[in-house]
């Protein structure tokens, strides 16, 4: 059984390798800075942010997609404006494309 899938189509494989995913937990304080409801994550080399999800532990079953208008992407980081402060047991799942 294979551990991961890699497409045989070159274009799809290139895209698979470009997109990275990181899960930032509230406890991972060395990976982000927070000020009120704005969380900034230094990702290194960022071309675009494809998708951000916020798992809000204070609301039952709350997995919220963060709209493009609620994030500021620079070449090295993403600042995300949440609907409430980032709190214990919350996490952010960030899918981004690395700079080529």
Output the CA–CA distances (angstroms, integers) from residue 16 to 4, 20, 85, in the order listed: 11, 8, 32
Count of domains in the chain?
A: 1
Cβ–Cβ under 8 Å, residues 5 and 15: no
pLDDT per position in the chain (100 positions), as tens?
Answer: 456 677 888 888 888 888 899 999 999 999 999 998 999 999 988 889 889 999 988 776 678 899 999 999 999 999 999 999 999 989 999 999 988 7
Domain range for 48 is 19-98
Residue 51 domain-assigned (yes or no) = yes
Flag whether the pTM goes above 0.75.
yes
DSSP 17: H
Output the CA–CA distances (angstroms, integers) from residue 91 to 13, 68, 69, 86, 96, in the order listed: 28, 18, 20, 8, 16
Residue 12 domain-assigned (yes or no) = no
């Amino acid at each position: 059984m294979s551990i991961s899938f890699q497409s045989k189509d070159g274009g799809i494989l290139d895209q698979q390798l470009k997109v990275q995913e990181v899960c930032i937990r509230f406890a991972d304080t060395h990976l982000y800075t927070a000020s009120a409801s704005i969380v900034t994550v230094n990702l290194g080399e960022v071309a675009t942010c494809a998708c951000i999800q916020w798992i809000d532990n204070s609301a039952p079953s709350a997995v919220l997609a963060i709209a493009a208008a609620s994030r500021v992407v620079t070449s090295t980081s993403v600042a995300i404006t949440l609907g409430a402060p980032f709190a214990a047991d919350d996490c952010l799942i960030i899918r981004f494309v690395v700079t080529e």
